Structures are given as structure tokens and as C-alpha cells.
Structure 1
């Protein structure tokens, strides 16, 4: 086995049922009790320090790139800046989970400051991400990177298969506008069934912020030309999208990770369908987002406590804990080749590849 088995349990407010106790050799309460209490307490100043550190590095990179202004340096700048855009997204991710601070207004403010520059509608994304966490591992109701069925795969047009299975590292902007296959709506429109009527103005606010960012970029392009936009924003943005799609794809896509439908799914069981991955020296740069199991267990835990929490719960999770032991590129290649669709029937199913199709 290339990875250890993992467990995931999520919401602090989730209630355990007799079904949970019957199916798993541990409970949510036992997991929570094993974690030091301070891990559940966000530090506003520490969170802000990470935010300002990311902003500072992004600003410094712009200053250095502008000063050098040479084509030999721009590929280096693009990779570094795109990676920092991704790190900034993760800070906004904490804001969306309300794990950045105890103050709702501060979470919303920093969330917009982190996400708007990289054209992510903070509230629209925050709400759809909430849907993902509440339905992890459920084929029918999960929000992102869930598998299509064999019947759906057979009916997909060639261009749909190209986007879904070959261009997996470039899908995020399309997802924001169109969502995943089989789902309707947009992260930018309050009319989407993603959102409750009470969330209308949250969605509109974030959409307006993204619109203002696009207008700002348009103004820069008008003043300095398309090449300026390409060098200083568009290429780093593409690198950011690649990072986001890579990491989120690998969070939940693995041949041995089960998916559920119908009565086979319930929160605690579905939350098991995730996996920790090691990004090496990138781990501290993108705020340990690869430590994903503990995050799905307690989503309102600050990112800087996830490693401590993981070590605390691993003895309890035992064989239900998954952590990849292979390199990121190898894991991507394995999932890219093997994870296309799941069976049309069955309560517990696994990814299959086109090679397994029976004509």
C-alpha cells in the first residue's frame, strides 16, 4: 500500500449517531478529547501575521521583478508569485471556515482581501466549500471533485472529457462560473441553488469585489499594455490555478478512496474520503494545506494547529488514517490514469479507468 489509511470527521457541531458508533471504532467526541484544547482556538494576531507575511512576500516579488525586468528572471518570478497567490488563497480558506479569527467581520474582511486579488468570489466560494464539507464522499451531493458515473462518462461529449479528465489543472475558473458536471449555477450569481435567499447580498458583495478587480486589471492594461498584464499577473494567476487544482484534486482523488451513495453515506463515514499528502518544503509556504484529514474532521481549526491535531488523533484513527507515501507528481499521474468514473450501482464504490469499460 502506498499510503496509510486515514479518517476524517468534520464539524464540531456534528452529532454522532448510533450508526457512527456501530461502523467506526471511535467517536467524534473521542477524537476531540484527544486534541489539546488550544488547537481549537484561533489566534487573531497569529493569523494576521500569516496574512501580512504572504502580502509582504507578494509585494517584494513585484518590486524585485520590476527592478530586474528581464526575461531570464520572469519564469522564476512566475512560479514564485503563483505559489504565493496559492498561499494567499489558503489564508482566505481559513477565513471562509471562520478559523482565521473569532470575529466574523474580520474573517469576511481578510477573506475578501485575500481572495479578490486572485479573482475568487469569497462568499460564493465560502458557501460552496461549506457544501463540500457537509457532503464529503457523497457521489450525489458533494460539490467538487466527485466522480461521475459510468453511464455519465459514456454519454459525455469528447470536449467534456477533455476538460474533465485531461485539463484537470486548469479547471478552477470554469468551476467558478459553471460548477461541476451535472450541477447548475454560478459562484457569482445569487440565483444559484448553491445559496440561500439570506445569502444574496453576501454573494453580490463578493461578485462586485471581483468586478472591481477586473476593472483595476483592465486599467493597468490600458496604461501599460497587454504584455505588462501577462508578465505581472496572468502567468502567476495560471500558476495559482494549477496549484489549486492540483492540491484539491489530490485531496479526494485516489483509486483506493471509497465513495458512497444512498444510505451508505453519512457524514462521519464520508469524511473518511480524503488523504494527507506531503509537499515537502512547500508545506509551510502553503500553510500545511496537505494536512487535510484533520481539517475535514474539525474544519474550524486554524491551519497552524493541524499538524498537532493530526499527531494527537492518529493513534485513535489507526487504519482509518490515510497519508500518501508517494511523490506528488507520481500521485497525480496515478490518479490521472486511474480515476475517471464509478459504477452506476452500489452503495460503496471506487474509481475506475476507461480500460475497465465493458462494451
Structure 2
């Protein structure tokens, strides 16, 4: 029996014993709902930090750790959505959305991560084309908000200047 089959059988055994011991609704309420809630926040924070029309994306041949760190936007999560929701965004997430990518002394800060910002980013970042080693999101009309200042592959890897179109 291969490892994949053993893992699947083990998972089925664990799920079955938990279900028989505690019942579906207890497992749903105490495990599945909190699991989905935490993952919802992690996906939202990651989406807002790494997705914006201004942020470059690099193919493997051009990606470096400094490029990855600088290609993020820290945001104040849910500021502007009310006092209690803003407090949850700032404190209950332990500041992960505001201070996650500091390290090189440069802080790029985007708009607060409220509903309007989520919608704007979702609307303006539809796809990237297979054009170069440095990519920018394009909107549904195929227009990018920014482009690399140079695209020559022989250019210095020490940094990428981003220019407005």
C-alpha cells in the first residue's frame, strides 16, 4: 500500500471516530467553522498584500527575495469599517496586515483594506499576460496601471524601477 492510500485511510478513520464520538454538529461548530473563519482572514490578508495594479510580479528567472519583499503592500485591515471592526482588524490579527513585510526599511502602504478596497483590487486585477519576466495585473479591458521602466533582460537585477503609463 502506498503512502497516499495510507494517509487517506488514516484521515477517514480519524474523521469517522471523531464523528461517531462527538457527532457532526459538534465537529462542525468547534472545528470546521473556526477553521474556515481563520482561513478566510489569511486569504483576504494575503490577497490584499500581494495583489494591486501597482505591484510587479516576477517570473522565476527574475524573482529574488528582495523583489518579493518589496512587491507587497501593507494595509490597515478594515479601518473605516467602524470602530469595533477596525479594532478587530488591527488587534485580533496581531498586526499581520500592517507589519508583515517590513525588513528592508521601505514600507509601501496601500489604502485601508475595507470593502471598497477589496472590490477595487478585485476589479482592477483580472489577469497577467505571458509577455515578459516582470508582469503587472491588467483589468478586464486589458489595460495595466503600471509597467516596468525597462524590460531588457540584460538590465541590472539590483532593482526594478516602476513607471506610470
Whether TM exceeds 0.5 here: the answer is yes
Are 1:286 and 2:93 counterparts?
Answer: yes
From the superposition, tell whether residues 215 and 289 of structure 1 become closer, same or farther in structure 2 (CA, over 3 Å).
Answer: farther
User: Deviation of residue 217 (structure 1)?
Assistant: 4.8
CA distance in 2, matches of 1:265, 1:252: 14
User: Deviation of residue 352 (structure 1)?
Assistant: 1.0
- Encode CA deviations 1:217-242: one digit per residue, 9 max, x unaligned: 53232123212222222222221221
Query: Which residue is equivalent to 2:131?
Result: 345
CA distance in 1, matches of 2:45, 2:34: 17
User: Deviation of residue 261 (structure 1)?
Assistant: 3.3
The match for 2:22 among 224, 229, 246 is 224
Are 1:238 and 2:50 counterparts?
Answer: no
From the superposition, tell whether residues 218 and 244 of structure 1 become closer, same or farther in structure 2 (CA, over 3 Å).
Answer: farther
Within a 5 Å distance, the mapping from 1:317-356 to structure 2 comes to 317=106, 321-356=107-142
> SS where residue 284 of structure 1 aligns?
helix
> SS where residue 341 of structure 1 aligns?
coil
Which sits farther off after the overlay, 245-254 or 216-225? Answer: 216-225
- Encode CA deviations 1:316-343: one digit per residue, 9 max, x unaligned: x3xxx31123333222212211222212
* Larger helix share, 1 or 2: 1
Query: Which residue is equivalent to 2:52?
Result: 254
Contact 1:342 1:352 in 2 (8 A): yes
**Structure 2 portions without partners, runs of 5+:** 78-85, 144-165
Q: Which has the higher contact order (CA 8 A, sep 6+)?
A: 1
Contact 2:111 2:117 in 1 (8 A): no
Query: Which residue is equivalent to 1:269?
Result: 67
Contact 1:274 1:292 in 2 (8 A): no
Paired residues, what number? Answer: 128
User: Deviation of residue 252 (structure 1)?
Assistant: 0.5
CA distance in 1, matches of 2:19, 2:54: 47
- Encode CA deviations 1:226-284: one digit per residue, 9 max, x unaligned: 12222222222221221121111122111111122366543323321111111232333
- RMSD, matched Cα: 3.0
- Encode CA deviations 1:16-60: one digit per residue, 9 max, x unaligned: xxxxxxxxxxxxxxxxxxxxxxxxxxxxxxxxxxxxxxxxxxxxx
CA distance in 1, matches of 2:58, 2:22: 52
